[in-house]
Every structure is written in structure tokens, then in C-alpha cells.
Structure 1
Amino acid sequence: MRRTVALIATLTLAAGMLAGCGSDDGDAAAGPGPLRIGYQRFGGLSLVKARNDAPGVTWSLFESGPALTEAIKAGAIDLGQTGEAPPIFAAAAKTPFVIAATSEPVPQAEAVLVKQSRGFKTFADLKGKTIALNKGSNVNWLLIKLLEKHNLTLNDVNVKYLKPAEGRPAFDNDQVDAWIIWDPYFALAEQPGVQVLADATGVANNREYVLVAKDSAESKTQQIKDFLATYEKTTAWGIANPDERAKVLAPELKIDEATTKRALARAAKPLTPLTPEIGTELQAIADGFTELKLIPGSIDVKSLIDPRFSGTAAQ
């Protein structure tokens, strides 16, 4: 267990070092130069990086979607991949971006973890308990939907907002009763004595979204289109070759191959067209956050889907 916590700490340190990396020429997002990609450990973009399928781009690693969208807002990256909640929080924070691509649903790749010794049987048993999660990430929406499913509200639980590297030791040391987390942190936490109380199946689609800085969408349109085409091909290769995919990704993720393969089996999904229905789905999530006053005011996230890119991949 201590080795796993140390691994999480190492991943976080690497994320902090790499998050500042980008092109060395100091260009702003709208300027010329290589495409600057922000990725999360284990997101679909990790495989593109690990295989070096997009030579010439620069890569920056982030621990979570909210950190990545902050980099977009700061003009540090051109493109990045997140779950379904970070685009909404980013739009509420007036971050200038568009949505360029999405994946099929990935509900099994995020879950509520508890200790078996605590005796929790259903999510409803967490009433009055402390739940850790990363604010503004996909798991934030999962919590809301699970509360709704079990006729509970945010007032019925104690939410502790912790980043993944903070959430794991808090969970291991029983400082919280439950931890809602996504892969690969989810897979790493699947140790003896840990129980999956619920995942997102039936309550949240948990899609991945590719976000593009608005200035970059204008100045690097063709570069982004070319990259998205590469991303789709690499994703398809990985799904068709799961064993080879795990071997390629395990060193990149600094996770053992068996854990990598287990997580990929539930988390890796192909891209899918950005249809109006997906825009409606994302807008419903935004409206839910607004209703709960978790974001300030209403936002029109559906309008952020960019038709220039929505047909680039998965058509």
C-alpha cells in the first residue's frame, strides 16, 4: 500500500514538472509553431504520445481536467482532453475554448471506492459520511447523479475536495469514508480490502472531450484537424490490439502492465461523432451544476461544439 501511495506522489511530482512544459519559442496560443498538447495520465492522448504517432507536437502532463483547462485559459496549450465536467467549469470561468471531439461513454472508468471493513452496501449508506473527490472533474457530476438516484442531496453528505494525490492517502488512512475517482488512480486503488460501491453505469456517460483553445482553433485549424485524425487512428489501433496497447502504455504511465491492462479494458473507448444529442447531453450537465449553484449562472456549453472539428474524427 505504501508503495502505491509513493507511486501516486511520484506521478504528481512528474505532473507538476511537465505541466509547465511546452514550446520553447514563447509563442502565444494564437502564434505559429508546434501544436501544444495537454494530456492526462491514461487519457486517450497518452497512447498517441507513447507511440510517438504525432511527431513535432509538444506535450504537457496534468493531474486532472481542471488543471488542464487552467492551462488553456493561460494560453499555455492549444489542445487538451478532459472528462465531461471540466469543460463546464471552464466555460463558467470564461475560458475561451471550443469542443473538437468526444468519445463513446466510459461509465465503468470512474467509481466510488470504500473499505470493505466499513460494511457499506449501497451508496445510500454514505448518508452523513465524508466523500473525497476532485472538484470540477467528471467525478463531481457522478456524485451529483448518485445522490439524485438515492434521493439524497449535497446536504446529506460531507464533501471533501481533494486532488487524486491527496485523495488516495486520505482514503488509505480512513480520513474519508469514500473516494470517488477515475482511472488509472481507480485501478491503482483496487487493493485487497477495497470495494467498488458504485460506478457511473446508468447514471453518467463519463465521455472524454477534446478541448481546443479558441485562438488556436483559428490559427492552427489544419494542424488540429491532422492531429485529431491521428488520434482517432491511434485509438482504433489500441482497441484492436489490447495486449500491445498495454505494453506500450505501461512504461508511459509508470504503472505495471497488469494494472494498465485491467484499467484499459474498461476505460478505452473509440471516438464518436459530436452530434446535437451529445451537445444536449453536455448542456444538461451544465444546467445541473447551475441549478445546484456549483457554477455561477447559466452557460451555453452546447454552443461550444465547433463544426470545423466535429467532422474531423469518428465520422
Structure 2
Amino acid sequence: MNRRQFLGSAALAGLALSTGLRPSWADEPKTFNVGFQKSGLLVVARNQRLIEKALEPRGIAVNWVEFQAGPPLLEAMNVGSIDFGTTGDTPAIFAQAAGADIVYVAALPSRGRNSAILVPERSSIRSLADLKGQRLAFTRGSSAHNVAVVALEKVGLTLKDVTPVFLSPADAGAAFATGSIDAWSIWDPFYAGAELNQGARVLADGEAILGTTNSFFLANARFARSHPDIVQTGIDALGQAGLWAEANRDGVAEALSAATGVPVAIQKRTAERGEFRASPVTPEIVAQQQAVADRFASLKLIPKPIDVASRVWRASQS
């Protein structure tokens, strides 16, 4: 995704401004607009109303906006439709390379168990090397994009050796069900849904492909500069939610299901392999994210090299 594509998509995301999602960096914001996906720590915080309880005494409401994937979430954040949200590692890299006005405010390190490359149960594809010449689907600019690139690298292949099929999670799920694609790089709960509902077979999971990986909590940079206390409220809520989630995975599954409409059985599997301890954006995490960014720059998948450290919100490290 280049700068023109990103900003064009951002203009579409900006349509949300006309439906009540306005930039909230005024002197006294009335709302804190939070973007979330169908799993993860923010959903737990939402279910427990942790951010709402902290901001209610100040007369600030919390507006929750659901996204299927990280790239459109960050497009909305760039134009100010949302103030705070979470994505995997790769969307932030594409967004930064396109000039998005965002900052990293916290991280969620994991072993990568909540993502995988899937194939149909009866597929003849038995190893990553067998992906050569096959139709491999993933969401462009998402964490699944990075999983696909690294998986191919491990067996001496590149994206030029497969037929990349760029699809949203919902569209990829439909294509997977009909056999229109041969393999699918995806994350939970779509990963769990494909396992339980479509008999998908795991070719390799993110732990085997990537090892340690990170998701991130990000904020619109202008909002973070203007309202660091509100951003910190969101981070504090993540800490509370994480402590509860690590000890209550069945409760996490119920919370995820209630918030997203995804069946409990699917969210239970998502919760079982999820990790919920938010972290500051440490130098080690910055180095890991920089390595991902450098890989994408060397492959010409982003238009220019970027400096991850320059977009870390320092106030969150205090």
C-alpha cells in the first residue's frame, strides 16, 4: 500500500466523520473514540466498561467502533475518526510509511499462536514449500501479510512464487470455503472459526513461523499530544483487563462473544491461545518492530524505510 492508496482509503474512512465520529482533540472532548476488532484485550476492557468507569466522572463518553482488520482501523485513526485502537504489527508499518499521524502507545507481546496459515483438510499442500504456485490469501497490510512473507522466506520462496490474493477476512473465509483459494494466512477469531466450521488444517502457526511477535495499541498523534491523560486511561484499563483475562479465559470467551457476536465455541479457542499482558513499548519491542519494517522496505512492499522509534509515544513509557 503506497501513500496514495492509504490516503485514498483514509478519505473513505473519513466518511465516518459525517456519521458522528468527529475528531475529538478539542479542548474538552465529549467522546473517546476507540477502534477494536473481534478479539483481544480491548474487547475485554469494553465488556467490563473499564474505560467508561474511569472517564464518566469527567463527562467523557466512550464510543466503540468495530473493524475487521487493522488497516482500515488505522485509516480511520489517521483522519481522526477514532482516537485509540489496536492492530497487529504490520498495519502500523504500512500506515507510518504512508505518512499516517499515529503513535505507538503500548504493546502486547505474544508467541504468535493466534495466527496461522491454513489449508483445506484434504489439500495436497503438506509443507510451506508446497505453497509454490498456489493461491495464498491474506489481507494486504495486515499482520497476516507479514506471516505470509516470513513463512515463504523460511523455505526460500517469496510472494513472487505464489499468487497473492488480497482479501478481507470475511471475503477470504468465503473463498476458502468454496475452494477459490488454496491457502489462507489469518488470525483469530477467523482462524478458530475456520478450524471449527470448515475443518481447516494448520500448515504452520505464527509461533512456528515468527516466534515472538507483537500487537500494538496506537493513538492518533494529535489526540495523544492534546489529551495524554485520556490515552493513559485507556492504557491503564488494558492493564486491569489483562490481569483479569489471564485468570479467567472462559470469561474472556464469553466477553468476546457478547461484544462481537462470534460464537462462544470459536472465542473459547481464541481465548485459550491468546495472551493478554499489555506492555510499554520497550526498546526490545521497538527493535522487533523495526526488523519487520526493514523486511518490508527491502522487499519494496512499503514505499520507503521508516524509523519506528520516532513514532513511539514517550509519555506512555513514564
TM-score normalised over the length of structure 1? 0.88
Of the three residues 44, 47, 63, the one matched with 2:44 is 47
The question of whether the paired residues in 2 share the 8 Å contact of 1:184 and 1:263 is answered with yes
Q: Which runs of 5+ in 2 are unaligned?
A: 1-11, 53-60
Partner of 2:209 in structure 1? 203
- List per-residue Cα deviations over 1:49-79 (Å, max 9, x = no partner): 1222221311111111000110011111111
Describe the shift of the 1:53–1:22 C-alpha distance in structure 2 as closer, same or farther (beyond 3 A): farther
Of the three residues 119, 122, 125, the one matched with 2:124 is 119
Describe the shift of the 1:156–1:277 C-alpha distance in structure 2 as closer, same or farther (beyond 3 A): same
The question of whether the paired residues in 1 share the 8 Å contact of 2:38 and 2:256 is answered with no
Q: CA RMSD of the aligned region, Å?
A: 2.1
State how 1:72-91 maps to structure 2 within 5 Å. 72-91=77-96
- List per-residue Cα deviations over 1:235-264 (Å, max 9, x = no partner): 210111112222222221212222211111
Of the three residues 278, 288, 292, the one matched with 1:285 is 292
The question of whether the paired residues in 2 share the 8 Å contact of 1:29 and 1:77 is answered with no
Q: Distance in 2 between matches of 1:123 and 1:293?
A: 23
- Counterpart check, 1:155 vs 2:160: yes
Q: Which runs of 5+ in 1 are unaligned?
A: 1-15
Partner of 1:255 in structure 2? 262
The alpha carbon displacement at 1:119 in A equals 2.2
Describe the shift of the 1:161–1:173 C-alpha distance in structure 2 as closer, same or farther (beyond 3 A): same
The question of whether the paired residues in 1 share the 8 Å contact of 2:245 and 2:276 is answered with no
- List per-residue Cα deviations over 1:89-141 (Å, max 9, x = no partner): 00011001110000121401111110121222111111110100000000111
Number of aligned positions between the proteins: 295
State how 1:208-247 maps to structure 2 within 5 Å. 208-247=215-254
Q: Distance in 1 between matches of 2:107 and 2:116?
A: 20
Q: Distance in 1 between matches of 2:288 and 2:80?
A: 28
Of the three residues 258, 283, 286, the one matched with 1:276 is 283
Describe the shift of the 1:27–1:115 C-alpha distance in structure 2 as closer, same or farther (beyond 3 A): closer
Q: Distance in 2 between matches of 1:256 and 1:21?
A: 31
State how 1:58-207 maps to structure 2 within 5 Å. 58-190=63-195, 191=197, 193-204=199-210, 205-207=212-214
The alpha carbon displacement at 1:44 in A equals 1.5
- List per-residue Cα deviations over 1:177-221 (Å, max 9, x = no partner): 001110011111113532011111143233110111110111111
The question of whether the paired residues in 2 share the 8 Å contact of 1:106 and 1:269 is answered with no
- List per-residue Cα deviations over 1:122-170 (Å, max 9, x = no partner): 1111111010000000011111111111111111111010001110111
Partner of 1:267 in structure 2? 274
Q: Distance in 1 between matches of 2:21 and 2:130?
A: 54
The question of whether the paired residues in 2 share the 8 Å contact of 1:134 and 1:162 is answered with yes
Q: Distance in 2 between matches of 1:99 and 1:105?
A: 17
Amino acid at match of 1:44: L
Describe the shift of the 1:23–1:230 C-alpha distance in structure 2 as closer, same or farther (beyond 3 A): farther
Partner of 2:3 in structure 1? none
Describe the shift of the 1:156–1:71 C-alpha distance in structure 2 as closer, same or farther (beyond 3 A): same
- List per-residue Cα deviations over 1:246-301 (Å, max 9, x = no partner): 22222212122222111111123311232111111111111110111111011112
Instruction: Tell me the secondary structure at the aligned position of residue 301 of structure 2.
Output: coil
Q: Distance in 2 between matches of 1:46 and 1:22?
A: 25
Q: Distance in 2 between matches of 1:276 and 1:25?
A: 34
Moved more, 109-118 or 250-259: 250-259
Off by >3 Å, runs of 4+ in structure 1: 19-31
The alpha carbon displacement at 1:25 in A equals 8.1
Q: Distance in 1 between matches of 2:301 and 2:198?
A: 35
Residue identity over aligned pairs, in percent, reads 33
Q: Distance in 1 between matches of 2:266 and 2:208?
A: 25
The question of whether the paired residues in 2 share the 8 Å contact of 1:282 and 1:302 is answered with no
TM-score normalised over the length of structure 2? 0.87
